[in-house]
């Protein structure tokens, strides 16, 4: 009898241990499953209050808020996740604040070479463009590849020609000139730096997830260098069965570690939660000095935004009313 009681005590203890809530640092203000949800980023890096200053910080927060508000409004009106991702990224690409579209950084030859990708979690269809110039909104060119071509990735003149043929808005290269980015190139002298890529992941009312990323890459990158942002599985990934992910950071690491897909794979094969999966890979990258972060969202509307840098421009909103923009470690 005593043995039986001890056995029961051990079993109860083991069950209790197993049910212990897993460590969860994702922002989960409400337990309620949202009808729709949205998460965005404007790049990770050496983002500190001292480096940015209060005025610029205000501008960043306002632009991120504008993008979030547009996205949540579209989701409320039943827009598809992929349309929302494109529209939200437009807002960020059209701002000189971020390293994408208008604010794209310069490569070592003083040119802008932009990369973008977008993916649908329902069909696993994806579209991407790499090393493009003159296309005002590279994320729309990526969407065009997704919708109107049998391919996933088009590069350089081929991508530009395809965008032109399909009536995409083209601009003169001067459109992408910003004094600040030009000065950053002059200052770097041989080094490369990353900062300010943009991304968005949305969950729509139909339960579909989409993810997109757009970037100018890294300041002073070699002519012809392509980063993780247009590579499906590295910088962007979406699968309704697991999650949607958009990454930002030192692209070479994100490519080598297949970071966006890795989050999904950890969920699918190791049965990790979104949070465990996303934080796990970002912590692993930190160990090998792969700096950056990501935003991710699963089918239940859980959101997480881990990064291993000083800060990451980011924000999220849900149908349940939560709506927040963050820049530094905890605010």
Q: Tell me which residues touch ligand ASP (CB under 6 A).
A: 43, 99, 194-195, 197, 215, 217-218, 227-229, 248-249, 251
Min. distance of Cβ 215 from ligand ASP in angstroms?
Answer: 5
Q: 227 in helix, strand or coil?
A: coil
Min. distance of Cβ 195 from ligand ASP in angstroms?
Answer: 6
Nearest residue (CB) to ligand ASP, 228 versus 262: 228
Distance between CA atoms of residues 275 and 279, nearest Å = 6
197 assigned to active site: yes
Helix pair 81-93, 54-76: axis angle to 10 deg: 160
Distance between CA atoms of residues 239 and 254, nearest Å = 18
Min. distance of Cβ 239 from ligand ASP in angstroms?
Answer: 21
Min. distance of Cβ 228 from ligand ASP in angstroms?
Answer: 5
Nearest residue (CB) to ligand ASP, 93 versus 228: 228
Nearest residue (CB) to ligand ASP, 309 versus 319: 309
Min. distance of Cβ 257 from ligand ASP in angstroms?
Answer: 12
Nearest residue (CB) to ligand ASP, 74 versus 263: 263
- Count CB atoms within 10 A of the CB of residue 292: 27
> Token pair 């269809």 is at which residue?
125
Q: Rg (Cα) of the chain, in Å, rounded?
A: 20
Whole-Å CA distances, 255 to 212, 224, 234: 16, 16, 5
Nearest residue (CB) to ligand ASP, 108 versus 166: 108
> Token pair 């203000």 is at which residue?
29
Min. distance of Cβ 11 from ligand ASP in angstroms?
Answer: 49
Min. distance of Cβ 309 from ligand ASP in angstroms?
Answer: 10
Tokens of 278: 């996303």
Backbone phi, psi, residue 69, to 5°: -65, -40
Distance between CA atoms of residues 209 and 200, nearest Å = 11
Distance between CA atoms of residues 128 and 145, nearest Å = 6
Nearest residue (CB) to ligand ASP, 74 versus 192: 192
Could you say which of 25, 123, 178, 197 is catalytic? 197
Phi/psi region, residue 17 (left: phi>0; alpha: psi -120 to 50; beta: rest), is: alpha
Nearest residue (CB) to ligand ASP, 240 versus 308: 308
Q: 138 in helix, strand or coil?
A: helix
Distance between CA atoms of residues 165 and 189, nearest Å = 38
Environment class of residue 2 by beta-carbon count within 10 Å: exposed (0-12), middle (13-18) or buried (19+)?
Answer: exposed
Environment class of residue 250 by beta-carbon count within 10 Å: exposed (0-12), middle (13-18) or buried (19+)?
Answer: buried
Distance between CA atoms of residues 221 and 230, nearest Å = 16
Active site positions, annotated: 197
């Amino acid at each position: 009898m005593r043995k039986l009681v001890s056995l029961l005590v051990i079993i109860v203890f083991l069950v209790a241990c197993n049910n212990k809530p897993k460590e969860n640092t994702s922002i989960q203000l409400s337990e309620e499953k949202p009808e729709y949800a949205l998460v965005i980023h404007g790049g990770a890096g050496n983002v500190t209050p001292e480096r940015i200053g209060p005025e610029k910080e205000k501008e960043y927060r306002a632009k991120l808020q504008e993008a979030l508000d547009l996205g949540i409004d579209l989701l409320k009106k039943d827009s598809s996740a992929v349309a929302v991702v494109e529209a939200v990224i437009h807002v960020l690409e059209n701002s000189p604040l971020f390293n994408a579209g208008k604010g794209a950084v310069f490569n070592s030859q003083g040119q802008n070479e932009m990369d973008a990708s977008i993916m649908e979690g329902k069909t696993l269809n994806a579209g991407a463009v790499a090393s493009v110039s003159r296309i005002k909104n590279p994320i729309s060119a990526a969407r065009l590849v997704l919708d109107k071509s049998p391919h996933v990735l088009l590069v350089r003149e081929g991508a530009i020609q395809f965008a032109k043929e399909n009536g995409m808005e083209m601009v003169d290269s001067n459109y992408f000139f910003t004094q600040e980015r030009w000065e950053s190139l002059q200052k770097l002298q041989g080094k490369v730096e990353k900062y300010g890529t943009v991304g968005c992941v949305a969950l729509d009312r139909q339960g579909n997830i989409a993810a997109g990323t757009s970037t100018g890459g890294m300041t002073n990158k070699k002519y012809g260098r392509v980063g993780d942002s247009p590579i499906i599985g590295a910088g962007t990934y979406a699968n309704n069965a697991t999650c949607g992910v958009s990454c930002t950071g030192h692209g070479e690491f994100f490519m080598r570690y297949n970071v966006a897909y890795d989050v999904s794979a950890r969920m699918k094969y190791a049965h990790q939660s979104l949070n465990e999966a996303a934080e796990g890979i970002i912590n692993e990258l930190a160990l090998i000095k792969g700096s950056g972060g990501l935003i991710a969202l699963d089918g239940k509307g859980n959101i997480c935004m881990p990064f291993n840098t000083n800060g990451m421009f980011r924000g999220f909103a849900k149908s349940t009313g939560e709506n927040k923009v963050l820049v530094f470690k905890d605010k």
